């Protein structure tokens, strides 16, 4: 997508708007499959929560991806996108037994992450194959909010609880067909990931009927040119070797699973906003844009970095700006950033806006959620309309106080 394409999209669809590059999503998918090409059966389940637009799901389906889901609603989106139930893995945390049963009824592979639900589910449905989410207690992840493998984490069945886990499996006679870990986002150190994998292999030996091992995700993507990222190729080489050895010892070819979200869609996304106002104060120059943390919460929530380019004036003189939103609360996208000179009305493009961006947006300040556009084969396709006032009030029940009895 060239700057001019993005400007045209902002003009045609209005701002703010999310734009995703289909080629980038597919090339990331291909890069991951290439890195693990020596694995006999590899499966990539796209983590829907990163970006749940149905057209994105359908795009990934054209490449043979499956889905990783965390709610029954994500499962329903996947089915709507044309996925078969067996192509979907459901990895909830803290949801009710009823929801898990409902998803299992649909024929979706379930992944259970606590012993209480495991015992209840296994007692009632011993014939339904279940995957177990193990917490290897290996610290990964760049941010405490997204690091989920540590000892205080609410996720997974602790590796120290394997004896209790085995007792439940034996008592209920249930069938464990998969074992899973997801240690968090932003893996920087492959050795740490491999150490967690060893713990998973050790746990896996306890189960006789495994069909797959799911290594989760957490691949780090670059946020600026030259930024560190997970070395997928090195991971592919090392983990493939270990996995192949394990399968040989285990006595059966297992499927190797990953469930990346960010890796597949983060870099493909641009968020386009328009500068409403340039405001000089005694200490800084603010560029106030027609959006806020209601549309892109990552900078405020995680302290995430998003590169920002002034695509209306890409060759302009570099100046310092704080880019802020219009929400009535501190709403900073970027502080003291070098950006080519901004004039009111210019369009800014935020990078890495494909993952956890639209999917975490809200209507705070009663603003509409933006449109989404997919750039595919050199053409812009609208894949979600901007909301309207009707959407804002759709589910409000408006009382008429002249008629409500006292």
Ligand X SMILES: *Cc1c(COP(=O)(O)O)cnc(C)c1O
Round to whole Å and give the CA distance between 246 and 253. Answer: 9
Q: Which residue is nearest to ligand X (CB)?
A: 261
Q: Report CA torsion sign: 255, 256, 259, 262.
A: negative
Is residue 133 a known part of a binding site? no
126, 169 Cβ separation under 8 angstroms: no
Smallest gap, in angstroms, from Cβ of residue 39 to ligand X? 18
Smallest gap, in angstroms, from Cβ of residue 217 to ligand X? 3
**Contacts for 231-234: CB closer than 8 Å, 24+ residues apart:** 231/190, 232/31, 232/32, 232/35, 232/263, 233/35, 234/190
**Cis amide linkage into residue 16, ω under 30° from 0:** yes
H helix and E strand count, the chain? 12, 18
Is residue 326 a known part of a binding site? no
Q: Which of residues 189 and 329 has its CB atom nearest to ligand X in the complex?
A: 189
Measured CA to CA in angstroms, residue 214 lies from 28, 188, 260, 354 at distances of: 19, 19, 11, 24
**Contacts for 150-159: CB closer than 8 Å, 24+ residues apart:** 154/93, 154/94, 155/93, 155/113, 155/182, 156/113, 156/181, 156/182, 157/112, 157/113, 157/114, 157/115, 157/118, 157/132, 157/133, 159/134, 159/135, 159/199, 159/203
Q: Which of residues 77 and 355 has its CB atom nearest to ligand X in the complex?
A: 355
Is residue 302 a known part of a binding site? yes
Site for ligand X in 129-188 (CB under 6 A): 182, 185
With CB under 6 A as the contact rule, the residue among 263, 293, 333, 358 that binds ligand X is 263
Round to whole Å and give the CA distance between 254 and 239. Answer: 14
Q: Which of residues 186 and 372 has its CB atom nearest to ligand X in the complex?
A: 186
Smallest gap, in angstroms, from Cβ of residue 251 to ligand X? 28
Q: Does 217 bind ligand X (CB under 6 A)?
A: yes
Q: Which range, of 244-252, 257-265, 321-329, 371-379, touches ligand X by CB under 6 A?
A: 257-265
With CB under 6 A as the contact rule, the residue among 149, 156, 260, 269 that binds ligand X is 260
Is residue 329 a known part of a binding site? yes
E-strand ranges in 164-220 read: 176-180, 212-214
Q: Binding-site residue total for ligand X (CB under 6 A)?
A: 18
Q: Does 68 bind ligand X (CB under 6 A)?
A: yes
Q: Binding marks (x or -) toward ligand X, 309..338, rule CB under 6 A? A: ------------------------------
With CB under 6 A as the contact rule, the residue among 7, 27, 63, 70 that binds ligand X is 70
- Dihedral in degrees, nearest 10, Cα atoms 256, 262, 267, 270: 140
Q: Is residue 328 annotated as part of the catalytic site, yes or no?
A: yes
Beta bridge partners of 275: 289
Round to whole Å and give the CA distance between 396 and 349. Answer: 34
Q: Which range, of 10-18, 197-205, 217-225, 296-304, touches ligand X by CB under 6 A?
A: 217-225
Q: Which range, of 195-203, 253-261, 331-339, 365-373, touches ligand X by CB under 6 A?
A: 253-261
With CB under 6 A as the contact rule, the residue among 122, 136, 142, 218 that binds ligand X is 218
Q: Which of residues 130 and 347 has its CB atom nearest to ligand X in the complex?
A: 130
Smallest gap, in angstroms, from Cβ of residue 66 to ligand X? 12
Is residue 241 a known part of a binding site? no
Q: Which of residues 324 and 355 has its CB atom nearest to ligand X in the complex?
A: 355
337, 266 Cβ separation under 8 angstroms: no
Q: Which range, of 169-177, 256-264, 366-374, 388-396, touches ligand X by CB under 6 A?
A: 256-264
Q: Tokens in use for 272?
A: 């386009």
DSSP summary character for residue 36:
T
Q: Which of 152, 280, 328, 402 is catalytic?
A: 328
Structure-token match 């050199």, residue found: 378
Tally of CA atoms within 13 A in the half-sphere of 366 that contains its CB: 6
Site for ligand X in 43-62 (CB under 6 A): 47, 49-50
Structure-token match 């409902």, residue found: 102
Site for ligand X in 79-108 (CB under 6 A): 91
Can you say which residues are annotated as belonging to the binding site?
A: 218, 298, 302, 329, 356
Catalog residues that contact ligand X under the rule CB under 6 A: 47, 49-50, 68, 70, 91, 182, 185, 216-219, 259-263, 355
Can you say which residues are annotated as belonging to the binding site for substrate?
A: 298, 302, 329, 356
Can you say which residues are annotated as belonging to the binding site for pyridoxal 5'-phosphate?
A: 218, 356
* Catalytic residue annotation: 328
């Amino acid at each position: 997508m060239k700057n001019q394409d993005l400007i045209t999209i902002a003009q045609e669809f209005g701002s703010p708007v999310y734009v995703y590059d289909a080629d980038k999503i597919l090339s990331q998918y291909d890069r991951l499959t290439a890195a693990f090409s020596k694995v006999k059966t590899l499966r990539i389940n796209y983590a829907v929560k990163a970006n749940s637009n149905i057209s994105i799901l359908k795009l990934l389906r054209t490449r043979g991806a499956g889905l990783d889901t965390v709610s029954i609603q994500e499962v329903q989106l996947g089915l709507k996108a044309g996925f078969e139930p067996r192509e979907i893995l459901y990895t909830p945390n803290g949801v009710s037994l009823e929801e898990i049963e409902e998803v299992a009824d649909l024929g979706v592979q379930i992944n259970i992450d606590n012993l209480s639900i495991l015992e209840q589910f296994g007692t009632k449905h011993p014939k339904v194959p279940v995957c177990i989410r193990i917490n290897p207690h290996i610290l990964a992840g760049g941010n405490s909010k997204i690091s989920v493998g540590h000892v205080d984490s609410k996720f997974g069945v602790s590796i120290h609880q394997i004896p209790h886990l085995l007792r439940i499996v034996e008592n209920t006679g249930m069938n464990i067909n998969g074992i899973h870990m997801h240690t968090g986002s932003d893996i920087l150190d492959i050795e740490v990931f491999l150490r967690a994998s060893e713990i998973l292999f050790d746990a896996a030996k306890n189960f006789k009927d495994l069909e797959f091992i799911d290594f989760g995700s957490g691949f780090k993507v670059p946020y600026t040119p030259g930024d560190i990222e997970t070395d997928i190729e090195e991971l592919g080489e090392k983990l493939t070797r270990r996995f192949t050895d394990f399968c040989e010892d285990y006595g059966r070819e297992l499927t190797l699973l990953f469930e990346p979200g960010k890796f597949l869609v983060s870099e493909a996304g641009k968020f386009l906003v328009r500068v409403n106002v340039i405001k000089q104060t005694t200490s800084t120059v603010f560029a106030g844009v027609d959006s806020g943390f209601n549309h892109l919460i990552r900078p405020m929530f995680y302290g995430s970095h998003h590169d920002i380019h002034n695509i209306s004036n890409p060759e302009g003189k570099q100046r310092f700006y704080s880019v802020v939103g219009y929400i009535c609360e501190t709403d900073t996208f970027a502080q003291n950033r070098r950006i080519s000179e901004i004039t009111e009305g210019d369009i800014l493009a935020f990078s890495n806006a494909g993952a956890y961006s639209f999917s975490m947006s809200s209507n705070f300040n009663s603003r509409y959620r933006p449109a989404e556009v997919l750039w595919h084969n050199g053409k812009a396709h609208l894949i979600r309309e901007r909301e309207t006032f009707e959407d804002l009030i759709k589910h409000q029940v408006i009382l008429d106080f002249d008629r409500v009895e006292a």
